[in-house]
């Protein structure tokens, strides 16, 4: 048997409203279903959900760094202009972020309101001739943000 794709990401959150607002405002997810104050299902396409958020309560413990569990999940965006829009929105929200130019992708790394690490990236394969698989370089955020002017 061979899997076809990852169907969705399911996150436990302590504040369902904040998590929903973050993913809808930063990435444009739309709410497809809400089950009381327990679940919110979010989609980027025409299927039920790409991201499920489950409210586990304000007192739920946060896993310590370097514990077993999810390291991060990634959301691919279509182009550098959209990545620049994500970057600007994160800056406006006061979210600190790291960034990398991996040659084959340009990526932003940050934590959502619940502390989950998220990567937003654009796949650069077939877009330039200088692709590398070597050590990542810092991504020039000023140059990235210049795509908002075009």
What are the structural domains of the chain?
1-58 (3.10.180.10), 71-150 (3.10.180.10)
> Alpha-carbon distance 37 to 26, whole Å?
22
Question: Taking 80 as the threshold, does the pLDDT of residue 150 lie above it?
Answer: no
3-state secondary structure of 6: coil
Q: Integer distance in angstroms from the first to the last C-alpha of the chain?
A: 46
Provide the pLDDT confidence category of residue 130 given band limits of 50, 70 and 90.
low
**Residue 108 and residue 99 in contact, taking contact as beta carbons nearer than 8 Å:** yes
> Alpha-carbon distance 56 to 13, whole Å?
6
Which residues neighbour 62 within 8 Å (Cβ) at sequence distance 6 or greater?
Answer: 114, 115
Q: pLDDT tens, 11-65?
A: 999 999 999 999 999 999 999 999 999 999 999 999 999 999 999 999 999 888 8
What's the mean per-residue pLDDT of the chain? 91
């Amino acid at each position: 048997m061979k899997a076809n794709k990852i169907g969705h990401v399911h996150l436990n959150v302590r504040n369902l409203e904040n998590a929903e607002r973050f993913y809808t405002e930063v990435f444009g997810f739309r709410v497809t279903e809400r089950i009381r104050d327990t679940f919110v299902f979010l989609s980027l396409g025409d299927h039920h959900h790409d991201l499920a958020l489950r409210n586990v309560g304000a007192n739920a413990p946060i896993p310590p760094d370097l514990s077993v569990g999810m390291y991060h999940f990634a959301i691919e965006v279509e182009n550098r202009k959209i990545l620049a829009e994500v970057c600007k929105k994160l800056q406006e929200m006061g979210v600190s972020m790291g960034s990398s130019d991996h040659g084959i992708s340009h990526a932003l790394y940050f934590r959502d309101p619940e502390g989950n690490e998220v990567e937003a990236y654009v796949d650069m394969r077939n877009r330039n001739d200088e692709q590398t698989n070597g050590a990542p370089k810092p991504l020039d955020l000023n140059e990235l943000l210049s795509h908002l002017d075009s």
